Amino acid sequence: MLRALRDEIDTILRLDPAARTRLEVVLAYPGFHAVVFHRVAHWLWRYRFQTIARWLSNLARFLTLIEIHPAAQIGQRLFIDHGAGVVIGETTEIGDDVTLYQGVTLGGTSPSRGKRHPTLEDGVIVGAGAKIIGGFTIGAGARVGANAVVLHAVAPGETVAGIPARPIGVRPEAPKAFLPYGTPCDDLPDPIARCVASLMDEVANLKQRLAELEQKTEFPKDLPAEPRSARAGRRLLRGVED
């Protein structure tokens, strides 16, 4: 138990540049406090002390502003950064090395008592304000952008964003470097640059098409001189019209 808590502290020190000492993490990080409370509450829940477990989780919510149902299954080294407003439902399953930011909801839509909350596999990062609703799986190494609303399963290594969330990138392997807030910056195309590039391609195509049309309609330079009788006939016609 103590080794697991030390791993939690070391994870916070590694991922949060604002954390300076282990003592600071123990005293001033509500995400760490919420995880410690949950470990105890989950143990009580497993051994049928469910009312006490719910009371303890409610006390943790009062102290940390993070609500974790004592039945939720949480792996090692969960990092809840800032934490205010985080909600983790009863049938949620969270793997190892998962990161959640403030305002994240892991909720359910079904009134049944079965599996109704999401499963987050190892290495998932969920950005601030994201909502993951339903009993599906977020694959290992996936990233959920800030304020996204996820209503369907996410493949391993995939990045989703938007309302409703849609894929915006896939990596064959989980990212090795930590990505704050689950929001990629350097591996996504700039939408404005992509639009400008598309317009430039279209202009180039139009120029090429125009050049082809000009070549087709250009008169030969070696046309024979107009016969004198034709010129005289046109002058006669102009005189009649006048």
Domains of the chain: 2-187 (2.160.10.10), 192-241 (no CATH)
At 104-123, the pLDDT tens digits run 999 988 777 888 999 999 99
Its pTM surpasses 0.75: no
Gap between the Cα atoms of 173 and 157, Å rounded: 6
Q: Give me the pLDDT at residue 174, please.
A: 47
Looking at the predicted structure, is the pLDDT value of residue 225 above 70? no
Other CB atoms within a 10 A radius of the CB of residue 188 amount to 14
Query: Tens digit of pLDDT for each residue in 120-136?
Result: 999 999 999 999 999 99
For residue 164, say if its preceding peptide bond is cis, omega within 30 degrees of 0.
yes
Mean pLDDT value across residues 160-173: 77
Closest-CA residue to 89 (of 132, 150, 35, 137): 132
Q: What is the arithmetic mean of pLDDT over 25-49?
A: 93
Q: Is pLDDT of 187 > 60?
A: no
The per-residue DSSP string of 115-170 comes to: S-S-EE-TT-EE-TT-EEESS-EE-TT-EE-TT-EE-S-B-TTEEEETTTTEEEEE
DSSP per-residue letters across 10-45: HHHHHH-TT---HHHHHHH-HHHHHHHHHHHHHHHH
Average pLDDT over residues 170-176: 53
Res. 223: pLDDT tops 70? no
Contact between 116 and 97 under an 8 Å Cβ cutoff? The reply is no
Categorize the per-residue pLDDT at 79 as very low, low, confident or very high, splitting at 50, 70 and 90: very high
pLDDT averaged over every residue in the chain:
83
Report the C-alpha gap between 143 and 158 in whole angstroms.
Answer: 6
